[in-house]
């Protein structure tokens, strides 16, 4: 399907998801345009993963509706138009790193393009791990393979849930830069969940700010920091101001700490 910049690709309308007595999402509406990079921040348990899983067709709504390219998300998923990276990597244990990266393309009926897959792994610092199995790799390396796999799939929409959670700080920045490069070179739409406000501002065109109990959107911030953004961008006053503004919104909406484990 051909898209134009500005067309809504992800449309979430009054989405409510309830798990027994937990209102994980309370009437959440969100529209993401073609080519947009939207980041989602919020406290633990505010429904970020539930939102992403709903957009990925992995969680049924209690009420409301999700559309991807105008269709239920399951259609986009089946057509290989949705790439998904979760907090834990979900690699196939019986396949090597390279085979993991090419396999989703094969499943989607596309040329596996092993040469390009190998290049991507090398660029992600995994040149020595191309033929290794997940059990031979660290958690962070597996996570990087999963990110490379999602980018190699070539899906027009990418859903990423804390994809850098297991990475050390420098690798985290390197992977963020490579996701940004790959996004800039394509017309890909990205919905990206993170706990890190600086990461949300570094990556996003817009930052969706959520609060918990019940899970809901409390602010939508257009990021005014110009692109291209790189490591040094994080040292600029404009960047610091935007991060501070979002942290203020998070603090204002923080629920009273009634849970001893929080
Ligand atoms: N399958 C489930 N069954 C019951 N409760 C669930 C289920 N999935 C999520 N929840 C609850 O729904 C709420 C939102 O969870 P969710 O994982 O979406 O939050 P989150 O913002 O992604 O959290 P985190 O940042 O810690 O990953 C939480 O209270 C969680 O305990």
Query: Whole-angstrom Cα distance, residue 7 to residue 67?
Result: 13
State whether the beta carbon of 47 lies less than 6 angstroms from ligand 1: yes
- Helix or strand or coil: residue 171? helix
Query: Whole-angstrom Cα distance, residue 23 to residue 44?
Result: 14
* Closest ligand 1 atom to 25 CA: 14
What's the confidence (pLDDT) of residue 251? 96
- ipTM above 0.95 for this complex: yes
User: Ligand 1 mean position to 25 CA, how many Å?
Assistant: 9
| Residue 165: Cβ within 10 Å count | 17
**Cis bond before residue 109 (omega within 30° of 0):** no
What's the confidence (pLDDT) of residue 6? 59
17 sits in which H/E element: strand 8-19
Instruction: Locate all alpha helices (DSSP H) within 108-196, ordered by sequence.
Output: 114-123, 139-153, 169-184
The pairing of strands 82-85 and 157-161 is parallel
Structure tokens given for 121 = 């792994």
What's the confidence (pLDDT) of residue 128? 96
What's the confidence (pLDDT) of residue 1? 47
The pairing of strands 22-33 and 206-211 is unpaired
What's the confidence (pLDDT) of residue 4? 55
User: Ligand 1 mean position to 215 CA, how many Å?
Assistant: 9
Fold classification of 8-253 (topology level): Rossmann fold (3.40.50)
**Candidates 39, 47, 160: which one to mutate for ligand 1, based on the most atoms within 8 Å of Cβ?**
47
Structure tokens given for 163 = 């994809």
Q: 204 φ, ψ to 5°?
A: -85, 150
- The answer to whether 158 touches 190, Cβ cutoff 8 Å, is yes
- The answer to whether 77 touches 22, Cβ cutoff 8 Å, is no
- The answer to whether 91 touches 146, Cβ cutoff 8 Å, is yes
Q: 34 φ, ψ to 5°?
A: -55, 130
What's the confidence (pLDDT) of residue 186? 82
- The answer to whether 34 touches 7, Cβ cutoff 8 Å, is yes
The pairing of strands 206-211 and 157-161 is unpaired
- The answer to whether 72 touches 57, Cβ cutoff 8 Å, is yes
What's the confidence (pLDDT) of residue 89? 67
Domain boundaries, the chain: 8-253
Query: Whole-angstrom Cα distance, residue 54 to residue 191?
Result: 12
**Cis bond before residue 214 (omega within 30° of 0):** yes
Structure tokens given for 227 = 């692109």
Global pTM value: 0.91
Measuring from atom 30 of ligand 1, which residue has the nearest CA?
45
- The answer to whether 189 touches 10, Cβ cutoff 8 Å, is yes
What's the confidence (pLDDT) of residue 257? 53
Kindly give the parts of the chain with pLDDT less than 50: 1-2, 258-262
What's the confidence (pLDDT) of residue 184? 85
């Amino acid at each position: 399907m051909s898209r134009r910049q500005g067309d809504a690709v992800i449309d979430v309308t009054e989405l409510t998801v309830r798990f027994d007595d937990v209102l994980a999402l309370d009437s959440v509406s969100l529209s993401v345009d073609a080519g947009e990079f939207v980041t989602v921040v919020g406290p633990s348990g505010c429904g970020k993963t539930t939102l992403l899983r709903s957009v990925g067709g992995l969680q049924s709504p209690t009420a409301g509706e999700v559309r991807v390219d105008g269709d239920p998300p399951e259609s986009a998923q089946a057509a290989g138009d949705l790439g998904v990276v979760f907090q834990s990597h979900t690699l196939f244990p019986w396949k090597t790193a390279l085979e993991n990266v090419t396999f989703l393309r094969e499943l989607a009926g596309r040329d596996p393009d092993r040469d390009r897959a190998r290049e991507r792994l090398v660029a992600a610092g995994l040149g020595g791990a191309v033929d290794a199995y997940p059990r031979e790799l660290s958690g962070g390396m597996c996570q990087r393979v999963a990110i490379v796999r999602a980018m190699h799939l070539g899906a027009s929409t990418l859903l990423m849930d804390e994809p850098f959670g297991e990475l050390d700080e420098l690798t985290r920045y390197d992977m963020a830069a490579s996701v940004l490069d790959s996004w800039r070179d394509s017309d890909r739409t990205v919905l990206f969940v993170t706990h890190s406000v600086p990461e949300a501002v570094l990556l996003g065109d817009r930052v969706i700010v959520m609060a918990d109990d019940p899970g809901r959107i409390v602010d939508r911030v257009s990021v005014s920091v110009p692109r291209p953004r790189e490591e040094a961008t994080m040292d600029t006053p404009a960047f610091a101001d935007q991060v501070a503004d979002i942290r203020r919104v998070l603090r204002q909406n923080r629920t009273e700490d009634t849970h001893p484990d929080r």
